[in-house]
A and B are shown apart, each in its own frame.
Chain A
Amino acid sequence: MAEKILEVENLCTQFKTERGLLKAIDGVSFEVYRGEMLGIVGESGCGKSVTSQSVLRLYNEKNLAVYSGQVRLEDQNLFELSQKEMQKIRGARISMVFQDALSSLNPVFTVGNQIMEALMIHQNISKKEARDKAVEMLRLVGIPDPEGRFYQYPFELSGGMRQRVMIAVALACGPEILIADEPTTALDVTIQAQIMDLIVEMNRKLNMGVMLITHDLAVVAETCHRVLVMYLGQIVEEGLVEDIFDRPLHPYTKGLMASIPRLDSQKGEKLHQIKGTVPVLGKIPEGCRFAPRCPYAGAECRTKTPELKKINESQKVRCHLADTLSAPCA
Chain B
Amino acid sequence: MSKFIAKRILSVVPVLLVVSIVIFSLVHLVPGDPAAAMLGDLATEQDIAALRTRMGLDQPLARQYFIWVGNLLRGDFGVSVVNNETVASMIISHIKPTISLAIYSLCIAACIAVPLGMIAAKNKGSAADHAVTAVSLAGISLPSFLLGLFLMLLFGVKLRLFPVSGYKGLEEGLGAHLKSLTLPAIALGFMNAALMMRMTRASMLEVLGSDYIKMARAKGVREFSLMAKHALKNTLVTLITVFGQSIIQALSGAAVVESMFAIPGLGQLMVNSIGRRDYYVIQTIVLLIAVFNVLVNMVVDILYGCVDPRVRVN
A108 engages B233 (CB within 8 Å): yes
> B173: CB under 8 A from chain A?
no
Distance in angstroms between the alpha carbons of A103 and B230 in the assembled complex? 13
Contacting B210 at CB < 8 Å: which of A53, A88, A103, A153?
A103
Nearest A residue to B233, CB-CB:
A108
- What residues of B have a CB within 8 angstroms of the CB of A106 in the complex? 212, 215-216, 230, 234
Question: Does B309 lie within 8 Å of A169, measured CB to CB?
Answer: no
Which one of A56, A108, A121 has the greatest number of beta carbons of chain B within 10 Å? A108
> From residue 210 to 227 of chain B, which have CB atoms closer than 8 A to chain A?
210-212, 214-223
A 83-118 to B, binary, CB cutoff 8 A, 1 in contact else 0:
100011111100110101001111111000000011
- Nearest Cβ on chain B to A34's Cβ, whole angstroms: 21
Contact of A98 among B124, B211, B309 (CB under 8 A): B211
B228 to chain A, nearest CB (A): 13
**CB of B308 closer than 8 Å to a CB of A:** yes
Chain A residue with minimal CB distance to B308? A108
Is B307 touching A108 in the complex (CB atoms < 8 A)?
yes
Verify if B310 is at the interface (C-beta below 8 Å from A).
yes
Binding site secondary structure of chain B:
helix
- Given A106-B216, A155-B310, also A63-B125 (CB < 8 A): yes
A166 within 8 Å of B (CB atoms): yes
Query: Which residue of chain B has its CB nearest to the CB of A170?
Result: B219
The answer for the CA separation of A62 and B313 in the assembled complex, in Å, is: 40
Q: Across the interface, which residues of A come within 8 angstroms of B220, CB to CB?
A: 87-92, 118, 121-122
A58 at the interface (CB under 8 A from B): yes
With a cutoff of 8 Å between Cβ atoms, the chain B residues found around residue A62 in the complex are 123
User: Shortest Cβ distance from B121 into chain A, in angstroms?
Assistant: 12
Task: For B309, give its contact among A83, A88, A107, A166 (CB under 8 Å).
Answer: A107
User: Cα distance A106–B226 when bound, in Å?
Assistant: 11
Within B226-259, the residues touching A (CB, 8 Å) are 230, 233-234
Across the interface, A103 reaches (CB within 8 A) one of B212, B216, B221, namely B212
- Least CB distance from B231 to A in Å reads 10
Q: How far is the CA of A33 from the CA of B48 in the complex (A)?
A: 99
A100 touching B308 in the complex, CB below 8 Å, given contacts A90-B217, A121-B220: no
Contact of B219 among A63, A100, A117, A153 (CB under 8 A): A117
Residues of chain A with a CB closer than 8 A to B215's CB: 96, 98, 104-106, 166, 169
Q: Which of B223, B233, B234, B307 contacts A83 (CB 8 A)?
A: B223
Q: A63-B125, A155-B309, A155-B310 are known contacts. Are A107 and B219 too (CB-CB below 8 A)?
A: no
* Contacting pair A108 B309 (CB below 8 A): yes
Chain A residues with Cβ under 8 A from B219's Cβ? 90-91, 95-96, 117-118, 121, 169-170
- Report A129 CB to chain B, min CB distance, Å: 18
Residues of chain B lying within 8 A (CB to CB) of residue A121: 219-222
Query: Whole-angstrom distance between the alpha carbons of A121 and B218 in the complex?
Result: 12
B66-125 CB contacts (< 8 Å) to partner A: 123-125
How far apart sit A117 and B124, CA to CA, in the bound complex (Å)? 27
CB–CB A107/B218 < 8 A: no
* Minimal Cβ-Cβ distance residue in B for A94: B218
Distance of A152 Cα from B233 Cα, bound (Å) = 17
**Residues of chain A contacted by B222 (CB below 8 angstroms):** 87, 121
Chain B: minimal CB distance from A54 (Å): 12
Q: How far is the CA of A170 from the CA of B310 in the complex (A)?
A: 24
With a cutoff of 8 Å between Cβ atoms, the chain A residues found around residue B212 in the complex are 103-107
Q: How far is the CA of A313 from the CA of B310 in the complex (A)?
A: 54
Residues of B near A100 (CB, < 8 A) are: 211
Complex Cα distance A100/B219, Å? 16
Q: In the bound complex, how far is the Cα of B310 from the Cα of A118, in angstroms?
A: 23
A153 contacts across to B, CB distance below 8 A: 309-310
Tell me which residues across on chain B come within 8 A of A83, comparing CB atoms.
223
Most A CB contacts (10 A, CB to CB) among B210, B212, B222, B230 go to B212
- Are B223 and A56 in contact, with the CB atoms below 8 A? no
Residues of A within 8 A of B217 (CB): 58, 90
**What's the nearest-Cβ distance from chain B to residue A160, in Å?**
18
Verify B214–A104 contact, CB threshold 8 A.
yes
A95 touches B223 (CB 8 A): no
- Which of these, A58, A117, A155, contacts B218 with CB under 8 Å? A58
Specify which chain B residues have a CB less than 8 angstroms from the CB of A95 in the assembled complex: 218-219
Q: Which of A121-147 contact B (CB under 8 A)?
A: 121-122
Give the CA-CA distance A296 to B193 in the complex, in Å.
Answer: 63
| Proximity bits, A274-314, B CB within 8 Å = 1, else 0 | 00000000000000000000000000000000000000000
> What CA separation (Å) do A95 and B217 show in the bound complex?
10
User: Contact between B223 and A107 (Cβ–Cβ < 8 Å)?
Assistant: no
A107 near B308: Cβ-Cβ < 8 Å? yes
Interface residues of B in 263-313 (CB under 8 A from A): 307-310, 313
Q: In the complex, A105 Cα to B219 Cα: how many Å? A: 11
- Which residue from chain A places its CB closest to the CB of B129 in the assembled complex? A63
Q: Is the CB of B214 within 8 A of A98?
A: yes
Q: How far is the CB of B216 from chain A (nearest CB, A)?
A: 7
Bound complex: CA A153 to CA B217 (Å): 20
List chain A residues, Cβ under 8 A from B223.
83
Closest CB of chain B to A24's CB: distance in Å?
A: 16
**Interchain residue pairs with CB less than 8 A apart (12):** A58-B214, A87-B221, A89-B220, A90-B220, A91-B218, A98-B211, A103-B211, A104-B211, A106-B216, A107-B308, A109-B233, A166-B215
B residues near A (Cβ < 8 Å) are: 123-125, 210-212, 214-223, 230, 233-234, 307-310, 313
Residues of A within 8 A of B (CB): 53, 56, 58, 62-63, 83, 87-92, 95-96, 98, 100, 103-109, 117-118, 121-122, 153, 155-156, 166, 169-170
Task: For the complex of A and B, list the 9 residue pairs with the smallest distance between their C-beta atoms, beginning with the closest.
Answer: A91-B219, A91-B220, A90-B220, A103-B211, A104-B211, A106-B212, A104-B215, A96-B218, A153-B309
Given contacts A87-B222, A92-B220, 4 further A-B contacts (CB under 8 A): A104-B212, A106-B230, A107-B212, A117-B216
